[in-house]
Structure formats: C-alpha cells, structure tokens
Amino acid sequence: GGIITQTPKFLIGQEGQKLTLKCQQNFNHDTMYWYRQDSGKGLRLIYYSITENDLQKGDLSEGYDASREKKSSFSLTVTSAQKNEMAVFLCASSISDWGGDGQLYFGEGSKLTVL
Amino acid sequence: SQLAEENSWALSVHEGESVTVNCSYKTSITALQWYRQKSGKGPAQLILIRSNEREKRNGRLRATLDTSSQSSSLSITATRCEDTAVYFCASGTQVVGQLTFGRGTRLQVYA
C-alpha cells in the first residue's frame, strides 16, 4: 500500500498572504489532484496534474497556482489568501490509465485559516 | 453547479439498523463511486459501480445504479458506530479530472 502525506496539517495566514500547501505520494501514481472542501459544498477540483510538469485547471483554479516538479509531489499555492477561502484542502492521486473508473487516494487534508 | 448530489444532508440511525443514502447525477457517466470520510481524515473509496452494472456489494455495503433515472444508492446493513461519517457519491466520465463529488450525507450511528 501507499500513503499520501500533506503538510502542513494546519496553516494559519494573514489576509493577502501567499501560502503554500505540499503533498507527497508513494503510490507511484502519475495523476495528482488538489480539491477544496467547504462545509456543505462537497469537494471541488482546483488543479490536477497527469504527469510531472503537467498542470490542468479545475473548476476552482482562480486564486491558486500549482506546481508538479516531481512525480511524487504536488504543491498548491494560495496566491493571496482571503477570509472566504478558509477550508480544508485535500490532495489525492490516481492511476494514469483513467477510463472513468479509477480510484482516488486521498491525504488527510490541510486546514487553512485566514485571519 | 453540482453534477452529483446526495439527496439527504444528514441521517441518523441506531446501531444495528439499516440505512440508505441516495445520490443523483446529471451527466452520462462511466462509473459512480461512493466514498466515506471520517472526521479528520480524507475520503476513502467504498464501492465503484460501472455504468453497465446495476448492483455491487462490499461486505455490509450494497450500491445500486440506475442509469435511466441517473441515480444511485448506497445501503449499509447492521450499522455500527464506526460507520459514522460523511458519505459522498462521485460521478466519473472517461476524462481525467471529471470525477465530480456531491455535497455529502452526514451519517450518525448511535449506540
């Protein structure tokens, strides 16, 4: 089995600050994802990457940047933190041969608080 | 807009009872997945049911899929306190990045 590790688990920042979340996976999966989870709104896709150095925007990419410099890691940057984006950010990975029936493996999440 | 949606915000049952979570989706799908998220953890897949399947079982869990009504259900029999969690359905197409999650149903199982 493998594991997805997200750091930090809790991140507190000031409004307007640039903040970065990191994710590491040892499944050897090609595809990685960042989701945002707000209470009552389910999971919404921010960015995903199908291979090293590839980046694809999801529905919620505005205000975020992502970076995939290695196969095993995927970072997400909040470019200017706002109070209305306090949420839990979830990283996930999956096999590359998608076909619509792949399983996502999730990390435990990083909770962002903006003061 | 939500392309997958559970039909109940919250459910509560007593241990040993059965419970069903329903989900509706809005697009043609390749597969429908059910995930469970316990407090402080990431979601974990429970069952995947493909568009050409009508029912799938995994221990005490049973998922159904009705592509004509674009709906799915997840039933849990003989519930336990450790089944307390948020349950999500997720509809998927063949395109990577198009796995769409519903808002989730919060299930509380009481002793």
Tens digit of each residue's pLDDT (9 = 90 or more) over B20-74: 999 999 888 889 999 999 999 999 999 999 999 999 999 999 999 999 999 999 9
pLDDT for the residue B2? 44
B54 interfacial to chain A (CB closer than 8 Å)? no
Tokens of residue B9, six digits: 């915000």
Beta strands per DSSP E along chain A:
4-7, 10-13, 19-25, 31-37, 43-49, 56-57, 64-70, 73-78, 87-94, 105-106, 110-114
Residues 6+ apart with CB under 8 A from B92: A100, A101, A102, B29, B30, B31, B32, B33, B98, B99, B100
Are residues B30 and A100, on separate chains, in Cβ contact within 8 Å?
A: yes
Report which of residues B4 and B19 the model is more confident about.
Answer: B19
Q: Which residue has the tokens 């921010």?
A: A46
| Contact of B2 with B91, CB cutoff 8 Å | no
Find the residue in B nearest to A105 (Cα): B44
Helix (H) or strand (E) holding B10: strand B10-14
Q: Into how many domains does chain B fold?
A: 1
pLDDT at B82: 97
DSSP B82: G
Of B35, B88, B96, the CB nearest to A50: B96
Full pLDDT tens readout for chain A, 115 residues: 899 999 999 999 999 999 999 999 999 999 999 999 998 778 999 999 999 999 999 999 999 999 999 999 999 999 999 987 789 999 999 986 666 678 899 999 999 999 8
- The domain of B49 spans 4-110
Q: Distance between CA atoms of A89 and A20, rounded to whole angstroms?
A: 11
**pLDDT above 60 (res B1):** no
Number of other CB atoms surrounding residue B83 within 10 Å: 19
Residues from chain A contacting residue B92 (CB–CB below 8 Å): 100-102
Query: Which CATH number characterizes residue B33's domain?
Result: 2.60.40.10
Q: How many residues does the structure list for chain A?
A: 115
Helix extents (H) in chain B: none
pLDDT of A39: 81
Domains and CATH numbers, chain A: 4-98+105-114 (2.60.40.10)
At A88-105, the pLDDT tens digits run 999 999 986 666 678 899
Instruction: With cut-offs at 50, 70 and 90, classify the pLDDT of residue B7.
Output: low
Nearest CA to CA, how far is A20 from chain B (Å)? 19
